[in-house]
Structure 1
Amino acid sequence: MKRWLALAAACLLATSAMAEEKVLHLYSWDAYFGAKTIAQFEKETGIKVSYDVFDSNDIVETKMAMGHSGYDVITVNLSPHLLRQLPIGIWAPLDKKRLPNLVNIDPALLARAGEVDRDNAHSVPWMWGTTGVGYNVDKVKAIMPDAPVDSLRMLFDPEVVAKFAPCGVAMLDDAEQVLGLALIYLGLNPDTTDHDELQKAVDVVAKVRPYIRKFHSSNYINGLAEGDLCLALGFSGDMQIADSRAKEAGRPFSIAYRLSKEGNLVWSDVLAVPTDAPHPDAAHAFIDFVMRPEIAATAATETGFSTANKAALGLLDEKLRGNSDLYPSAEAQKRFHLPKALDQKALKMWTKAWNRAKGLE
């Protein structure tokens, strides 16, 4: 009996210690916060942060579907990923009483997220942006002075892309983004479930595939920054990161990003807490911390991604805030498309189509 009581007491002590453990397990893209943000949060709260990095939304989805990820806060793609996951109970409802800095989030972006996550019950908008053309300004100008940098022709017209193959071209390894943009280029529905329409997008990518050095969802950042690539299909903020890294390294060129006149895919990443998060209190503390205007502004400045924090906009450098390719007008945003969630049958069709586009089938 005494032995049983001792064991029970030990278990209670262990449980208590775990409850008091000041730890946060964060899962996000690389360098998605200010360089000093994590350290500042740790200093202010005493909560130690473990920051794991992913390089694909699909990796996150697979890990979360398995359950027991061990993470407390994850930056999740709003649509189609969060949209697809909400019905199966992966994400915990947020306690908004513990998030007073929610008032800083742009109401328009909250409304957009609310179309996916009703009443924004499970998520807080963090960053947003578009997918399109990133390029080395100097190299592109030298090779093709009249290059159509404001058009998806830069990525999908074989006669154009072929000119830049020697200096390096890359594309995201992402069916939704690449085939979706190819469909926009063709004037078709970027969420199509029509096999023939999807095949037309496959054909567009297949025709430029011989000139693509690599399909990858993050390597193109350093490739552009180091001068190993001169053209890439990627995320808007990543191009700003590449330009910053090039400048820091003293490279004699700059990297730019342009919206496409045919239209762009728009994406939004939100902060969310898994239902089985081991440290939900720390999760709420972190989310509220990064919603401070000065914290959000630092992240937007250092990463180049567009902040969802309206109160932070006034803290941004005027040149950054005035960049219409990163903070486009309401009129320009009418050409944006937020990907929708596809059912399992359609997802399988898109996966096979993407493999065909890359020459894997």
Structure 2
Amino acid sequence: MNLRHSHLAGLALALLAGTAQAAPTVTIANWSGYIADDTLANFTRQTGIQTTYDLVDSNETTEAKLMTGASGYDLASPSNHFLPRLIKAGAIQELDRAKLPNWHNLDPKLMKVLEASDPGNRYAVPYLWVTVGIGYNEEKIRAIFGNTDVTRSWQLLFDPQNIAKLAQCGVAVIDNSTQMVPITLRVLGLDPASEKPADFAKAEAALRAISPSIRYFHQSKYVSDLANGNICVAVGFSGDVLQAMSTAQQAGNGVKIGFSLPREGTTIAVDTVVIPKNAPHLDSAYAYLNYLLEPKVIADISNAVQYPNGNAAALQYVAPALRENPAVYPPQEVLDSLFPIRTLSPAGMRLNTRLWTRVKSGT
């Protein structure tokens, strides 16, 4: 009798172990600091699916892994301008919208922007979208220029006389050539998507003219430096500057930060979520994608990281301070001045990369 009970108990434990091993999982690749603290835990609580969250530091890294067809990811987060190459290579799957009942929540206007990179919106779900603008220390800008009106134009940066006045208090520029080169081309009155060597030469000359007054180029350091008053101007992502504002307010250090989307226009990039070609847990991938399309879920993410989302139904749940901030959710006339980042050809990418390397190194 005892032996029989022992056998049954052992069988039960084996079954339980097998069940535990078979628990559904999903592996997600995303940018650092780009999710709410409770997003993953709430997903697991709601679905029973365990999550593995892998941080990526660049689109190039994500692209390289997806191109192998063996990334191990169920979901990845490339920016929109990387989609055409991934689609052409067959590195990501066409979405089955029947498995995404929350698809109808998406904003048609943003989907139209995304369609330039993903015709028919067949492969990618928009996550958050970003712009590049000018973050500035209001007190220091007023002390130098008398008011903050100058921040409404890229000439604050691209006029050598203006930026020279800022050199002492510190100017930082995001280390991102796919953003900064198109912006420079637009300021020069050229096509931001140009791949003409002559246009790149003009952009390089404009950047070289102001680089002596730039303290540093960096992907994220400007966030803390702007919040602490260590620099007075940062050209960077909208959400990063808003995070700096929040940090300064919480610290009570007296630093008041403003943010401007210059009137000449600036970039708009949509960070997306895609399913890699050989995603190992396809059902879990769709479950997480559909979860992200829930209005309250994506609104909580926007509230946490200070970036706007592409879910029209989520707007009512976005914090009023964020929703009503024209630098985050711009009015239509500003939206009309934004231009999407375009995918460069291999030759165009080489021109872009070499230009940026020379500007940063001063060679």
Same fold by TM-score greater than 0.5: yes
| Alpha-carbon separation, structure 1, partners of 2:324 and 2:263 | 19
- Distance (whole Å) between structure 2 residues aligned to residue 338 and residue 95 of structure 1: 26
**Residue aligned with 1:93, SS:** coil
CA distance in 1, matches of 2:76, 2:262: 30
- Distance change in 2, residues 1:25/1:32 (3 Å): same
Which region of structure 1 is more displaced relative to structure 2, 270-279 or 113-122?
A: 113-122
* 1:132 match: 133
- Within a 5 Å distance, the mapping from 1:112-191 to structure 2 comes to 112-147=113-148, 148-191=150-193
Q: Which residue of structure 2 aligns with residue 349 of structure 1? A: 351
Which of 280, 299, 302 in structure 2 is aligned with 1:300?
A: 302
Q: For 2:284 and 2:228, how far apart are their aligned partners in 1?
A: 38
Deviates more, 1:40-49 or 1:234-243: 40-49
Select the residue among 24, 29, 32 that pairs with 2:31. Answer: 29
Instruction: Describe the SS at the equivalent of 1:223.
Output: helix
Given that 1:55 and 1:217 are in contact with CA atoms closer than 8 Å, whether structure 2 keeps it comes out as no
Decide which of 200, 223, 243 is 1:241's aligned counterpart: 243
Cα shift readout 1:178-235 (whole Å, capped 9, x = no counterpart): 1111111111111111112111111111122122222122222222223322211111
Q: CA deviation at 1:262?
A: 0.9
Q: Which residue of structure 2 aligns with residue 269 of structure 1?
A: 271
Show the counterpart of 2:332.
330
In structure 2, what is the Cα distance between the partners aligned to 1:45 and 1:247? Answer: 37
Q: Please state how far the C-alpha of 1:267 moved relative to its aligned partner.
A: 0.9
Q: In the alignment, which residue of structure 1 is the partner of 2:313?
A: 311
- Find the aligned partners of 2:221 and 2:210 in 1 and give their Cα distance: 19
Q: Aligned-pair distance for 1:164?
A: 2.3
Q: Residue 18 of structure 1: CA displacement? A: 10
* Aligned partner of residue 39 in structure 1, secondary structure: helix
Residue 109 of structure 2: SS of its match in structure 1? helix
The alignment covers a number of residue pairs equal to 346
- Residue in structure 2 matched with residue 71 of structure 1 by the alignment: 73
Comparing 233-242 with 220-229, which one deviates more in the overlay?
Answer: 220-229
1:7 aligned residue = none
Q: 1:224 to 1:270 in 2, by over 3 A?
A: same
Shift of 1:290: 1.6
* Partner in structure 2 of residue 41 of structure 1: 43
Distance 2:139 2:46 in 1: 44
Q: Distance in 2 between matches of 1:136 and 1:17?
A: 56
> Aligned partner of 2:83: which letter?
L
CA distance in 1, matches of 2:127, 2:239: 13
Deviation at 1:59, TM superposition (A): 2.7
Counterparts in 2 of 1:355 and 1:226: CA distance versus 1, 3 Å: same
Identify if the C-alpha distance between structure 1 residues 35 and 139 changes in structure 2 by more than 3 Å, giving closer, same or farther. Answer: farther
Corresponding letter in the other structure for 2:278: D
Asked whether the 8 Å contact 1:206–1:359 carries over to 2, the reply is: no
TM-score by length of 1: 0.89
Change (3 A) 1:133 1:17: same
The equivalent of 1:3 in structure 2 is none
Q: 1:319 to 1:146 in 2, by over 3 A?
A: same
Gaps of 5+ in 1: 1-12
Contact 2:245 / 2:257 at 8 angstroms: preserved in 1?
yes
RMSD: 2.2
Distance 1:55 1:145 in 2: 39
Please name the residue that 1:213 is paired with: 215
The 1:351/1:142 distance shift into structure 2, 3 A limit, reads: same
**3-state SS in 2 of match to 1:188:** coil
Question: Normalization by structure 2: what TM-score?
Answer: 0.88
Contact 1:25 1:70 in 2 (8 A): yes
What amino acid sits opposite 1:247 in the alignment? Q
Correspondence for 1:10: none
Change (3 A) 1:167 1:57: farther
Q: Which runs of 4+ in 1 moved over 4 A?
A: 16-19
Q: Distance in 1 between matches of 2:284 and 2:212?
A: 48
> Does the 8 A contact of 2:124 with 2:274 survive in 1?
yes
Give the deviation of 1:175 after TM superposition.
1.5
How far is 1:331 from its partner?
A: 2.4
Contact 1:241–1:302 (CA under 8 A) maintained in structure 2: no
Equivalent residues of 2:66, 2:91 under 8 A apart: yes
Contact 2:66 2:92 in 1 (8 A): no
Q: Provide the secondary structure at the position in 2 that maps to 1:82.
A: helix
Cα 1:21–1:167, aligned 2, differ >3 Å: closer, same or farther? farther
How far apart are residue 275 of structure 1 and its match?
A: 0.9
SS of structure 1 residue aligned to 2:317: coil
1:25 CA displacement: 1.9
Relative to 1, partners in 2 of residues 1:60 and 1:360: Cα closer, same or farther, differing over 3 Å? farther
- Structure 2: which 5+ runs fail to align? 1-14
Q: Which moved more, 1:233-242 or 1:106-115?
A: 106-115
CA separation of 1:105 and 1:163: change in aligned 2, threshold 3 A: same
2:145 counterpart letter in structure 1: M
